[in-house]
A and B are shown apart, each in its own frame.
Chain A
């Protein structure tokens, strides 16, 4: 069984707001403001794939392939996936290509899935940690005509399909999905990303990463170019969020609690 995990490189989502800057065009984050890391839910997606392989150990070999669409620097997130023991990784180079909107990325992934045939399962993070789009997974499922389940945290393999634990607004759902399928992964207590072993990190640093180019995958597909630019980024703005914190102090804990209640009553909240 072949599982593809789609991963994305983003600027560290945990950099403090005080260090966040925009680029000169005000269309994205400035380069170099933080480390480039694997997008948060993609880490959960890798973990879900690893757990699936571990549970399938006795039943069926599972091959995990990490894929990313991005510039050469994005190879770092593939190495991260390899250090966690993905079997192999492929970089789809976006150099010289159109703007990477959701449709373009989904089209490239679709072509990669065809090239890696037969693929049984594709996992994507629920949304990226920078633009929070949440579209590539459903777009890819549409492009492939495959089953699609979103907000999944755990996957079991059954005859002819999968059982997926899906987060809903009210709690959880257990959903059957036909094989092959696309699932977008959210986090919960069952898929907390593991840490790589030092030895595996060293091996991953030296592992060869094949690079597939856009013309190689889709030719000079005019349709691909035609889809981008449906949405223009006019401008990014940094909202003002800083508040002046009023400190509630007191000699004793009793005093602090009483003063807090008092402050909330003055603000007509209690």
Chain B
């Protein structure tokens, strides 16, 4: 019997958190193991307030245990306090595998916790399987040009899963034997403090990671004005707007729009790449897209090698007409 612990440092439960539990449950099935979930931070605090899971003893529970770790000092960005709180939990719970979602805060806490536990650590994990009692971990390396299969020689092993690589669970997060964990945190040990939080809204109101359709622009878009056109197309498609590193580095759009190895990894049903050449570091970020449409004036651009549908055309000519086509389609659908 192996114990798997999912650690969710979150203010609210989103898709990444549900995917991480999904990854843990799939591994537990292969492993004959149990899944425990530790919710830490504001999401745990509000769960405690709502007394979620209290007094409920479901007959079949996918989680063996759920730990809720809340503290007023765990409300903002306070990585070392999170690490300290988790260290306290792990003094009593001894999992073989610890899973984190691939969010930026987790990518800071997980390696620090691994260091303290003396544990092996793998980020950007896309596959987990059990093999003769050992966990075989798959992650993309060399910008996705290869996949590495790694084996931890002894437990525990800490992994961060890549967003959109595992199927999210439906239903309850907080279930099984629910325990509130008291932690002692020392404010004088504070080494970093959050002063200000600046939210960058996506242009269309749809988050890139959640979007079913993404319209993305690169150097070929030529400037910030061109992105207005892509935004309009994305809005009519009910999608989000992304960008390549070149467009972000040029300052045309915010860095938070960036897709690729150096930005967000996305897996929409439809990815429309406009004026994007298709550098490896970009392509690795869209490897999970179901359908890729490339619009580029250069028919030899590498983006066409990963595209399902390709159009050689100047986007300035094509996109406005495409918007009209989509509008017409929407009008027909309404009628």
Contact = CB atoms under 8 A, between A and B. Distances in A.
A3 B43 CA distance: 37
B318 A246 contact: no
Interface in A191-238: 192, 227, 229-238
Interface in B296-327: 302, 304-313, 317-318, 321-322, 324-326
A135 B123 contact: yes
Contact of A135 (B77, B111, B287): B111
A41 B279 contact: no
Contacts of B304: 245
A171 B115 contact: no
Interface in B180-195: 190-195
A150 to B, nearest CB: 4
Nearest to B311: A248
A243 to B, nearest CB: 6
Contact of A264 (B107, B149, B152, B291): B291
Q: Is the interface of B mostly helix, strand, loop or mixed?
A: mixed
B143 A13 contact: yes
Contacts of B144: 239, 241
B123 A132 contact: yes
B245 interface: yes
A253 B321 contact: yes
Interface residues of A, number: 86
Given A130-B142, A269-B270, A172 B198 contact: yes
A260 B309 contact: yes
Interface stretch (B22-30, B54-62, B254-262): B254-262
Q: Is the interface of A mostly helix, strand, loop or mixed?
A: mixed
Interface residues of B, number: 92
A10 to B, nearest CB: 9
Given A132-B261, A232-B153, A16 B302 contact: yes
Contact of A245 (B149, B254, B308): B308
A111 interface: no
Contact of B249 (A130, A151, A187, A229): A187
B281 A40 contact: yes
Nearest to A145: B191
Nearest to A44: B262
A188 to B, nearest CB: 4
B103 interface: yes
Contact of B309 (A134, A135, A139, A245): A245
Contact of A139 (B111, B197, B313): B111
Contacts of B198: 171-174
B251 interface: yes
Contacts of A232: 150-153
Contacts, number: 262
Interface stretch (B44-52, B63-71, B133-141): B133-141
B108 interface: yes
Interface string A119-154: 000000001011111110011011100111111010
B193 A175 contact: yes
Q: Which of A141, A168, A186 has the most chain B CB within a 10 Å cutoff?
A: A168
A189 interface: yes
A248 to B, nearest CB: 5
Contacts of B308: 243, 245-246
Interface in B89-134: 103-105, 107-108, 111-112, 114-116, 118-124
Nearest to B316: A253
Interface of A: 11, 13-17, 20, 22, 29, 40-41, 102-103, 106, 127, 129-135, 138-139, 141-143, 146-151, 153, 163, 166-178, 181, 186-189, 192, 227, 229-239, 241-243, 245-248, 253-254, 256-258, 260-261, 263-265, 267, 269-270
